[in-house]
Amino acid sequence: MTDARESWGDWYEKVEGDVDPAVVELREQLEEEDKDSVLDVGCGAGRHLLYLTQNEFDAHGFDFSESAVAKLKEKLDELGAEADVQVADMAEKFPYDGEQFDAVLAIRSIHHADLSTINHSVDEIFRVLRSSGLIYVQVPTYEKLEKLQGDGEEFEEVEPGTNIPLEGPEEGVPHHNFKREEVHEIFSDFEIEDLDKRDDHYNLLARKLS
């Protein structure tokens, strides 16, 4: 467990960067719909959570990496900003009440698991989201896995579509790569408003209707 958390911390140091343009668009939509409370699942060191906080959203987030959450708390203190951030595991029950949030982000986070855990995470997203709430999710495509395998990267297959890298910055961390029909199946309890493919990832915008 400790090794996995350290791997996550090292990885976040390398990949944290600019706010995804889709999050800017989502912020505008949330403002138009007068939605305020947002959860960032797998928030990392906070590039999106900080952006939402600075735009006066009621921002919450959790991550598996203790070092990433500590880094995010330091940034919040430096900015004099407030947000609820916690260390938690998406394989367990999310530490929030039912129907607590107007929107949930899961950007390149929930695929770091096997299918059973992914389905659990999606069920938890549904539970904590209010009726008519929005989700924005990014997950890697199956084609991305095929490209990596073609480039000679080595993986241990756990189940169809789920593999564990045997080297590199995410060594030992499971990854599930999605086919389009799988996205529809896993998020079947939501109404999909948009699903496109960009940078070897599916980008999903969907709404909870019940």
Cα angle 73, 106, 51 (rounded to 5 degrees) comes to: 45
- State which amino acid sits at residue 36: D
Q: What is the dihedral of CA 9, 10, 14, 19, to 10 degrees?
A: -10
- Architecture in CATH for domain 2-142+177-208: 3-Layer(aba) Sandwich (3.40)
* Residues 97-127 pLDDT 10s: 999 999 999 999 999 999 999 999 999 999 9
Instruction: Measure the CA–CA gap between 64 and 89, rounded to whole angstroms.
Output: 5
Q: Which tokens sit at 176?
A: 């599930």
Cβ proximity of 131 and 103 under 8 Å = no
Per residue in 66-106, pLDDT (tens digit) is 999 999 999 999 999 999 999 999 999 999 999 999 999 99
